[in-house]
A and B are shown apart, each in its own frame.
Chain A
């Protein structure tokens, strides 16, 4: 999901407006970073510097928070984010075999993005729909009660 320079400019303005509105609340850093992550899909060094300058804090503080929490990404993600739940309920019902199959088909490790920018694989913490275990989501769509044999057909829909 590469953004055009024009889109980046527009989103930067949106972020600046959000910062102006929220910089005086107690503990403003996380909500602002979450908004930036939503807008851009990741936190570039430019974005982190913008946030740091606006709040008058060192950029290391922003970077420290960005690297602490799993939700923040320093690299852009693929068009389709494949998240395999590796919570306990899914694990005891075979999530590892499902994840192995996704890795085998896409040829990348969890946390990586394919060269064509189409897919990112991530292991996700419990999604809380344990009744459907093992579960995987692609973007917002949930696929439940999976077996490794289901994976190929599901991924083909997103090729």
Chain B
């Protein structure tokens, strides 16, 4: 028995900010103090508050230490673990919840109190490299119940009744997908799409790193439901920690007889192989992913036939996303009614979002469907840093769109987001403030799709490139009358004619920013002005004569000698020489220089 448990996040976010070093320091210190039999150190998956990493929680108190460094460890061990006095100075206090006291319980903090963790229930709680900890949290019980107590059709009916929809982006009902694959066939496959390619989205990675068995168990359940004996997980090679933990989890499940032949003595066989992606965004599209597993260039195939009819190696295949699978065992254990009690009429359950960009609490959150965007940004996310104003949130990555500040009260679910011109996508939620130019953001996403287009169909290969040409012109101050209309026309054509999801959704970031920020496009085109001051070619840096004290510091720092003036009188910038590097902006102590 241990009298204290120290949980340290070993997800990618905290590992990047140094949690492995914290762990080493802690181990050393515990050994030095002879506490290794009393205090157990557990490396867990993601807690969610990545902005405050590395994160460490000490139980039984539940003290939440944020941005821990190895140097602080001796003090924490001495004071907290030896003498029982939590080091309050180092414990996270939560200004958003209106308290300056250290947070006693995580669930009271603004970041956690509106969350509901289903897919992430084990992330940050268990050691993902230890199957026993998963089993202790009712792991593999759902698989047992399915194999021993339910027929395959009853399993499918349960998933159907729960209303679970695909969490990869499109939101297709999972139970229906499974139902399509039930027709008898000598060989079928279950595939997990873990090729999480949307920039700024890391939900699936966190599930794989923090709770890999949840995915394995659900795949076995899907295999039983449709009559498949083999599964593949296709995971991004950019996620080395997730790949490693999946490998360990599969091995442990095999050793326990939870994968392999005759599972639970029922005669049901199921095993899983791992396949690594190789850096192609289009492989997140299901048919391209299957083509890639087969060992080819990852080009999409026309649908129909759908994978449920003709999928991997030409055999019927069920393919779901990581987060979708992470919900399945919970639905079996707690019943479809429980799951359907969360969310909105057509979007049941919860959704995990990766909060990023201009927001205080960057990290991972799981909320019931239908939670207003305002709650996510202002309460859970802690608002916008540096006193800036919220301008827009981007969801759905390169396939999605921007939600403007005027729609911040929109309840977030599949259908509402589609109605306002964005989409749920896989769950990336990037927050932008007044300094971000919406034309520039649209161009950013289009550059992404242009470079990731596989080139198979003309609308995507050529059409997106022409759209990018126009956008580049606009951001360089060479926009012409009629450009906006051309973008809309071209965008709609591409949506209607591209072969796969990548092309069909590629124009969305452009179309949605035109819809809500048309005035910004017009300012670029007609006035050759970037209102946010982000487009370099259009930016104009000026000195406010009222504020300038004439200290001459800026003119000394200017690399091209564009600033001149007399000491103690306002200086001026020669716009013909200025290269808009912004050095003067950073130099001025009086806030007299601005970029617009």
Contact = CB atoms under 8 A, between A and B. Distances in A.
B554 interface: no
Interface stretch (A4-12, A13-21, A128-136, A151-159): A128-136
Contacts of A93: 357-358
A129 B13 contact: yes
B585 interface: no
Contact of B239 (A26, A33, A92, A128): A128
Contacts of A45: none
Sorted nearest first, the 5 A-B pairs with minimum C-beta distance are A131-B50, A89-B356, A70-B279, A87-B199, A69-B278
Contact of B279 (A26, A71, A86): A71
B295 A68 contact: no
Given A127-B16, A131-B53, 15 more contacts: A27-B293, A27-B295, A28-B295, A30-B293, A31-B275, A65-B296, A69-B278, A71-B279, A88-B356, A88-B444, A89-B430, A126-B202, A129-B50, A131-B50, A133-B356
Contact of A92 (B52, B198, B280, B436): B436
Contacts of A92: 357-358, 430, 432, 436, 441
Contacts of A40: none
A129 B199 contact: no
A56 interface: no
Contacts of A142: 15-17
Contacts of B313: 26-27
B67 to A, nearest CB: 11
A88 B199 contact: yes
A64 B297 contact: yes
Given A71-B278, A88-B444, A92-B432, A130 B237 contact: no
Interface string A40-78: 000000000000000000000000110011111000000
A97 B275 CA distance: 35
Interface string A100-126: 000000000000000000000000111
Interface in B138-166: none
B588 interface: no
B75 to A, nearest CB: 24
Nearest to A25: B273
Contact of A126 (B198, B277, B294): B198
13 contacts: A30-B278, A68-B298, A70-B278, A87-B200, A88-B199, A88-B394, A89-B200, A125-B281, A126-B199, A128-B12, A130-B50, A131-B17, A132-B13
Contacts of A133: 356-357, 362
B205 A65 contact: no
B454 interface: yes
A77 B295 CA distance: 24
Nearest to A72: B278
Contact of B297 (A65, A125, A128): A65
A44 to B, nearest CB: 17
A88 B397 contact: yes
Contact of B16 (A86, A87, A129): A129
Interface centre among B197, B205, B297, B436, by most chain A C-beta atoms within 10 angstroms, is B297
B297 A130 contact: no
B363 interface: yes
Contacts of B15: 142
Interface residues of B, number: 51
Nearest to A67: B297
Contact of A27 (B16, B294, B357): B294
Contacts of A126: 197-202, 238
Contact of B12 (A28, A31, A127): A127
Contacts of A28: 295
B354 interface: yes
A88 B239 CA distance: 17
A144 B17 contact: yes
A141 B445 CA distance: 27
B276 interface: yes
A139 to B, nearest CB: 13
Contact of B276 (A26, A34, A132): A34
A142 B238 CA distance: 13
A130 B16 contact: no
A68 B13 contact: no
B289 to A, nearest CB: 12
B51 interface: yes
Contacts of A129: 12-13, 16-17, 50, 202
Nearest to A68: B297
A30 B198 CA distance: 22
Nearest to B237: A71
Interface string B1-34: 0000000000011011100000000000000000
Interface-central residue, B281, B294, B363, B430, by most chain A CB under 10 Å: B430
A132 B16 contact: yes
Contacts of A69: 277-280, 298
Nearest to A143: B16
B292 interface: yes
B428 interface: yes
A65 B283 CA distance: 13
Nearest to B196: A128
Interface string B289-306: 000111111100000000
Contacts of A39: none
B362 A128 contact: no
A34 B436 contact: no
A29 interface: yes
B65 to A, nearest CB: 16
Nearest to B358: A92
Contacts of A71: 237, 277-279
Contacts of B278: 30, 33-34, 69-72
